């Protein structure tokens, strides 16, 4: 097995330990504080790779931006439809300074902390190496690892049935992100998509008056069906906008294409 694969799995198990420790309160620092320096050190110093080893490249910017914004809009629309089906009325938008400040803070956290950390580590570092060695099978393995990474927080916040749903939900959402990275070769659109999708949930929490857990629990079967449709749309859209094969650093190392 290639040395890079060992590094990828080692980083993943360290990340899982850090996330679990953070969830139960044993580790006071947010995982981004520990994980980004770690993958940067391994990528740049140990492996001697450049930014492409973390997916930090600009590749096909126009289709990448279009895909990220379109699927973020789909995510927001899905939230609105679910609340409508439940008969939940949204509150009027407040343009007060506290409300706007809260939204700006949520956007910064969703985009520059949560999405930045998860995409650079899960997609940029781990998936790059798995798909470089195993092609599309590596994409699927990276997606499964991403879903398991969210289990500690799901088990902490939800009962077992809801936690199982969160695992499936994260797996489908993770595949949308993983496939976008596979076809564009850059974490920049996946960071944007991931962050905006998280922010869509934050906006709905503000407008509905519900907690994030309550918003998540609304119309769970519908959510899974919607996400399955997004998976199909992402595959189709990437084929139309991004050509017939993967791009970027992993294109030169992958033996497979879909």
Total Cβ atoms within 10 A of residue 82: 19
Q: What is the DSSP string of 76-145?
A: HHHHHHHHHHTTPPPPPPP-SHHHHHHHHHHHHHIIIIIIHHHIIIIIIIIIHHHHHHHTHHHHHHHHHH
- Share above pLDDT 90 across residues of the chain, in percent, rounded to a whole number: 74
Confidence of residue 195 (pLDDT cuts 50, 70, 90): very high
The token duo for 183 is 């076809």
* Contact status, residue 239 vs residue 83, Cβ threshold 8 Å: no
Q: Which of 17, 35, 42, 36 lies closest to 27, judged by CA?
A: 17
Total Cβ atoms within 10 A of residue 257: 12
Confidence of residue 117 (pLDDT cuts 50, 70, 90): very high
- Residue that wins the pLDDT comparison between 44 and 255: 44
Q: What pLDDT is stored for residue 229 in this prediction?
A: 97
254 has a pLDDT exceeding 60 = no
| Over residues 201-220, mean pLDDT | 88
Give the integer Cα–Cα distance in Å for 233 and 70.
11
The token duo for 243 is 């050509």
Q: What pLDDT is stored for residue 181 in this prediction?
A: 96
The whole-model pTM stands at: 0.92
Give the integer Cα–Cα distance in Å for 244 and 51.
24
Q: Which of 197, 150, 161, 151 lies closest to 176, judged by CA?
A: 197
Mean pLDDT of the chain: 90
- Residue that wins the pLDDT comparison between 210 and 177: 177
Question: What pLDDT, in 10s, does the model give residues 67-90?
Answer: 999 999 999 999 999 999 999 888
């Amino acid at each position: 097995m290639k040395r890079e694969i060992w590094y990828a799995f080692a980083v993943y198990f360290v990340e899982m330990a850090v996330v679990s420790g953070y969830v139960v309160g044993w580790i006071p620092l947010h995982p981004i504080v520990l994980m980004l320096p770690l993958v940067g050190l391994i990528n740049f110093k140990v492996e001697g790779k450049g930014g492409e080893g973390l997916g930090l490249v600009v590749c096909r910017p126009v289709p990448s931006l279009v895909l990220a914004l379109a699927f973020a809009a789909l995510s927001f629309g899905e939230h609105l439809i679910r609340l409508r089906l439940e008969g939940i009325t949204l509150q009027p938008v407040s343009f007060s300074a506290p409300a706007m400040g809260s939204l700006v803070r949520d956007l910064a956290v969703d985009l520059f902390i949560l999405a930045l950390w998860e995409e650079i580590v899960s997609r940029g570092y781990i998936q790059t190496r798995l798909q470089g060695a195993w092609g599309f099978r590596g994409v699927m393995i990276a997606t499964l690892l991403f879903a398991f990474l969210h289990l500690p927080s799901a088990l902490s916040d939800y009962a077992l049935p809801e936690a199982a749903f969160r695992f499936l939900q994260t797996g489908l959402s993770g595949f949308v992100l993983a496939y976008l990275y596979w076809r564009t070769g850059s974490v920049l659109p996946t960071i944007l998509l991931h962050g905006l999708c998280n922010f869509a949930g934050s906006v709905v929490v503000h407008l509905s008056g519900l907690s994030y857990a309550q918003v998540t629990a609304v119309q769970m079967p519908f959510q899974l069906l919607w996400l399955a449709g997004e998976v199909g749309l992402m595959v189709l859209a990437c084929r139309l906008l991004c050509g017939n094969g993967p791009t970027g650093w992993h294109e030169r190392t992958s033996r497979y294409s879909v």
